[in-house]
A and B are shown apart, each in its own frame.
Chain A
């Protein structure tokens, strides 16, 4: 135990299952929770949609809400949940000294403007002029800001007054892994005392689905659990809207202010495997070796597996190589939340530690039973396309 141990003191979660730690714990530990799936809006693809959210609960000013689209609102809202949970929200001194690392994609494009440009380009040859003309006259100025990746962090600063250092990482699941890794490393080295870290993904927008489908990654046809999509039509990913933010602190800082500690966060291990040249399964096993998995007893593993055929197959094989591991692919119920996937995995791992219980199998034909009180839980995010990460979450004492 050290003063610079990284501890988790705040968790903010939103997914199709609901919002907050209690709602997620209840849904994910109930034996009969069915996923919330919308197969109607973007056929032939299914998505897991956002629950109804009263944005005003975390983003009080209407003007602030208006200057964001759903993705930034979702992240800002969920960051507020995490700050609330950690008892930091509204504490000016703590917020001003708080660092932030955000995993971000791009914001939603304005479909109407895109369509207007495409339509006009059919009858005009001066397309460079046309583009500037449309962008300067058709795009609402502040909604241009809603497309900027680092403005999620910007809005969190504006709305919640988190104004220490701020970093934004891009790169899908890898950004989520790197964000948590960097935040934890800063605390461990003494550079930060408390950090807000996380990401959000809003899947309910055509360009977000297009991003996956250009690579042929989306699952088609009826929904199936993550581990059962191999061989089905399409690429295996069912995306979901959601977000996860964590408040990480040094043990010393959390104890000094008397905060409840959910769990400790061990070192985050990550890799950018060249998957065409290197065996992904071996790379994942290599990460597990580094993660210092406890030698005895079953180890609950919150897997961020996306369902993408090759990556999910490799992860499953690597997990099965170690008979101790009891995997739970939460993406079966939440969908793939891209940048938020790893922070979400860590959050669910911390909840299991805190509540002293595991999760029932989300897919009984592919996931073993788990009994007992978890003392450590492994969290993974193996990118659907690239980047791999994992970390061991442990009991506070």
Chain B
């Protein structure tokens, strides 16, 4: 079974023009991979579908804008995958 990282990396590669091999757990989706805001909307949409969750993108953006979190917390691949795992677990527990 693919890991969360593998699934998310595949979604990113399928959606934007980023080579799958260049995506690592340490990649920053915006700063390193250069995903633009429109592509990011579609990526989050595909993540929602793949994992059966609703990524609270607006809240994350707000947290970053309010200085409560850094973009690394949400948009570094390994952290993004951990958040997704958290959302999946929260949904399963609900």
Which A residues lie at the B interface, using CB under 8 A? 61-63, 66-67, 137, 140-142, 145
Contact = CB atoms under 8 A, between A and B. Distances in A.
Contacts of A137: 48, 54
Nearest to A136: B54
Interface in B3-44: 15-17, 36, 38-39, 41-42
Contacts of B38: 63, 67, 141-142, 145
Contact of B42 (A61, A62, A142): A142
Contact of B17 (A61, A140, A145): A61
A188 B41 CA distance: 43
Given A137-B54, A141-B45, 9 more contacts: A63-B15, A66-B42, A67-B38, A137-B48, A140-B42, A141-B38, A141-B41, A142-B38, A142-B39
B39 A63 contact: yes
10 contacts: A63-B39, A66-B42, A137-B48, A141-B38, A141-B42, A141-B45, A142-B38, A142-B41, A142-B42, A145-B38
A285 to B, nearest CB: 50
Contacts of A63: 15-17, 36, 38-39
A225 B71 CA distance: 62
Interface string B67-88: 0000000000000000000000
A61 B18 CA distance: 12
A61 B36 CA distance: 13
Identify the 8 closest CB pairs spanning chains A and B, nearest first: A141-B41, A142-B42, A62-B17, A140-B45, A142-B38, A141-B45, A63-B16, A63-B17
B54 A66 contact: no
Contacts of B54: 137
A145 B38 CA distance: 10
Nearest to B41: A141
B44 to A, nearest CB: 8
A140 B38 CA distance: 11
A141 B17 CA distance: 18
A137 B17 CA distance: 24
Nearest to A143: B42
A101 to B, nearest CB: 25
A141 B38 CA distance: 8
Contacts of A142: 38-39, 41-42
A134 to B, nearest CB: 13
B60 to A, nearest CB: 16
Nearest to B35: A63
A137 B55 CA distance: 11
B13 to A, nearest CB: 11
Contacts of B42: 66, 140-142
A141 B48 CA distance: 12
B15 A66 contact: yes
Contacts of B15: 63, 66
Nearest to A62: B17
A61 B16 CA distance: 9
A61 B39 CA distance: 12
A185 B42 CA distance: 41
Nearest to B40: A141
